[in-house]
Structure 1
Amino acid sequence: MTHDGPADHLEQNRRFWDDEAAAWHAPLARDHWSRTEPSWGLWATPEPQVTVLPDGIAGMRTIELGCGTAYVSAWLARAGAQPVGIDLSEQQLATARAMQEEFGLDFPLVLGNAEKVPYEDDSFDLAISEYGASLWCDPYRWIPEAARLLVPGGRLVFMRYSPLFALCASPEGAASTRLFREQFGLTRLEWGNHVQFILPHGEMLRLLRSCGFVVEDLIEVQAPRPAHRDYAEVSADWAHQWPSEEIWKARLAG
Structure 2
Amino acid sequence: MTHDAPAEHVEQNRRFWDDEAAAWHGPLARAHWAQAEPSWGLWATPESQVSLLPEGIDGMRTIDLGCGTAYVSAWLARAGAHPVGIDVSERQLATARVMQAEFDLDFPLLLGNAENVPFEDNTFGLAISEYGASLWCDPYQWIPEAARILVPGGRLVFSRYSPLFALCARPEGPASAALSRGQFGLTRLDWGNRMEFVLPHGEMIRLLRACDFVVEDLIEIQAPQSARDYPEVSADWAQQWPSEEIWKVRLAG
Q: Shorter-chain TM-score: which interval?
A: over 0.9
Q: Give 3-state SS (helix, strand or coil) of 2:141's partner.
A: helix
Q: How does 1:50-199 map to 2 (within 5 A)?
A: 50-199=50-199
Pairwise CA RMSD of aligned residues? 0.7
Could you report, residue by residue, the CA deviation over 1:192-221 in whole angstroms, capped at 9, with x for unpaired residues? 100000000000000000000000000000
Residue type of the alignment partner of 1:215: V
Q: Give, in angstroms, the shift of residue 226 of structure 1.
A: 1.9
Q: Give, in angstroms, the shift of residue 158 of structure 1.
A: 0.2
Q: Give, in angstroms, the shift of residue 2 of structure 1.
A: 3.5
The separation in 1 between residues aligned to 2:147 and 2:2, in whole angstroms, is 15
Q: How does 1:1-40 map to 2 (within 5 A)?
A: 1-40=1-40
The separation in 2 between residues aligned to 1:195 and 1:55, in whole angstroms, is 34
Residue type of the alignment partner of 2:243: S
The separation in 1 between residues aligned to 2:79 and 2:153, in whole angstroms, is 20
Residue type of the alignment partner of 1:5: A
Residue type of the alignment partner of 1:234: V
Q: Give 3-state SS (helix, strand or coil) of 2:142's partner.
A: helix
TM-score normalised according to structure 2 size: 0.99
Could you report, residue by residue, the CA deviation over 1:30-82 in whole angstroms, capped at 9, with x for unpaired residues? 00000010000000000011110001111110000000000000000000000
Number of aligned pairs? 253
Q: Give, in angstroms, the shift of residue 4 of structure 1.
A: 4.0
Could you report, residue by residue, the CA deviation over 1:218-247 in whole angstroms, capped at 9, with x for unpaired residues? 0000000121x2100001111010000000
> What is the aligned partner in structure 2 of residue 231 from structure 1?
230
5+ unaligned residues in a row in structure 2: which ranges?
Answer: none
Residue type of the alignment partner of 2:208: L
The separation in 1 between residues aligned to 2:171 and 2:129, in whole angstroms, is 26
Quick check: 1:247 aligned with 2:242?
A: no
5+ unaligned residues in a row in structure 1: which ranges?
Answer: none
Quick check: 1:207 aligned with 2:182?
A: no
> What is the aligned partner in structure 2 of residue 48 from structure 1?
48
Structure 1 moving runs of 4+ over 3 Å: none
Greater shift, 151-160 or 4-13, is seen at 4-13
Give identity over the alignment, percent: 81
Residue type of the alignment partner of 1:111: L
Q: Give, in angstroms, the shift of residue 170 of structure 1.
A: 1.8
Could you report, residue by residue, the CA deviation over 1:84-143 in whole angstroms, capped at 9, with x for unpaired residues? 000000000000000000000000000000000000000100000000000000000000
Q: Give 3-state SS (helix, strand or coil) of 2:224's partner.
A: coil
The separation in 2 between residues aligned to 1:92 and 1:5, in whole angstroms, is 25
Q: Give, in angstroms, the shift of residue 171 of structure 1.
A: 2.3
The separation in 1 between residues aligned to 2:69 and 2:248, in whole angstroms, is 22
Q: Give, in angstroms, the shift of residue 3 of structure 1.
A: 2.9
Residue type of the alignment partner of 1:193: N
TM-score normalised according to structure 1 size: 0.99
Q: Give 3-state SS (helix, strand or coil) of 1:118's partner.
A: coil
Residue type of the alignment partner of 1:191: W
Residue type of the alignment partner of 1:47: E
Q: Give 3-state SS (helix, strand or coil) of 2:55's partner.
A: coil
